[in-house]
Amino acid sequence: MIDTNSSEDPHLLPLPVGEEGEYRALDSLSPGERRTRSASEGSSPLLQRSTAPSKLPWFSGFPLYLAPMAGVSDKIFRQLCKEHGADVLTTEFVSAEGIFRRNERTREYLDFDPRERPLGVQLFGGNAEHMAEAARQVVDWVQPDFIDLNFGCPVNKVVAKNGGSALLRDCPTLSSVAGAVVRAVAPLPVTAKIRIGWDADSINAARVAGILVEQGITAITVHGRTRAQGYSGSADWDVIGEVAAAVPVPVIGNGDLAGPLDVAKRRDETGISGAMIGRAAMSSPWIFQQTKHYLATGEIIPPPDGREKWNLILRHCRMAVEDWGMEDQAIRSMRARLMAYSKGFPGSKQLREKFQHVSTLDEVTAIAREHLETTAILPELSTVSSLQC
């Protein structure tokens, strides 16, 4: 329990001599001053990036992560992104309480295919004992490559239960949760995802990252918005860069990465060790291939043509039907996904209106055929038959 009468900051854990001053100094400076100081004080172990090999072998390069997104990054979408170049995948976030209480529906979120590896299971919760036990059960059930801790979700129903970004305001609990999970699943790596702070007046990402490293976290993803921002406004990559300079573990940057040029710019400016792509992948799973090619060659490869995009969409629908076993429910569940895919298509507004009412695979196929014909993406009706329906 936090002593609200204490004159000390209840969100700042005691750190070893010398370290607390470094974190306090970083948090009290302006973004520009913090980056300048981080660059100039290479002698501090907290401000010097480690050259030691990571416990996560994919950091031998610059890995591209698919962001865990509730209702989006299920095993089907993860597999499609993997095929299109994603290096590291994470499940949709899973309630530790649901696992702790052996809720069968919660356990369904843990299902994945071996083709998805390396894959982590992301857990959220605010009870250290329950989080540790949930992590142990996850490791026993599905043997993931790592456990990821969600300290960034801004959704009210998660925050209200002291989960997600709520712990950015309660560093003692955040520390105890992280430490308990690390000890529970050792030697399996444990990573974490955070935001830059609770709101604009409490930007504490560097401090939080240091606490997580103290507890044995092996990599940290930083989303460049505060909890108060939700998904509005712009991501603050200056703060992400400060975290990358402040801790000796890989930092993955996340926020407003819409294409290969964004990823390359942020990598060069901040020194991040990897990038996590979320919303852009919802409409363009091929963004991972494009980004990898650009980082390797400096060349932008064009996106798939209309026919290729539609074949991907129809394949996604077929896989959903196979997984659900009930076509109408599967296609209804795909409506929001289909609307996301329509971004960038000619006549996307009309497509979204049609997608709101689909309930069969034949209906989606008919929309695809009509769209290809009317937008003249393919010259002849006979060519449209090449759709893999």
Cite the active site residues: 153
Spatial CB neighbours of 16, under 8 Å, sequence gap ≥ 6: none
Task: Retrieve residue 298's tokens.
Answer: 């400096």
Do the Cβ atoms of 192 and 221 come closer than 8 Å? Answer: yes
Cα 80 to Cα 282: distance, rounded to the nearest angstrom: 11
* Residue 293 identity: H
Do the Cβ atoms of 107 and 114 come closer than 8 Å? Answer: no
Count the neighbouring beta carbons within 10 Å of the beta carbon of residue 7: 5
Task: Retrieve residue 374's tokens.
Answer: 């009317």
Cα 110 to Cα 233: distance, rounded to the nearest angstrom: 32
Task: Retrieve residue 217's tokens.
Answer: 């976290």
Query: Which one, of 324, 363, 364, 326, lies nearest residue 342 by Cα?
Result: 364
User: Greatest CA separation found in the chain?
Assistant: 77
Q: What is the DSSP letter of 379?
A: S
Do the Cβ atoms of 64 and 288 come closer than 8 Å? Answer: yes
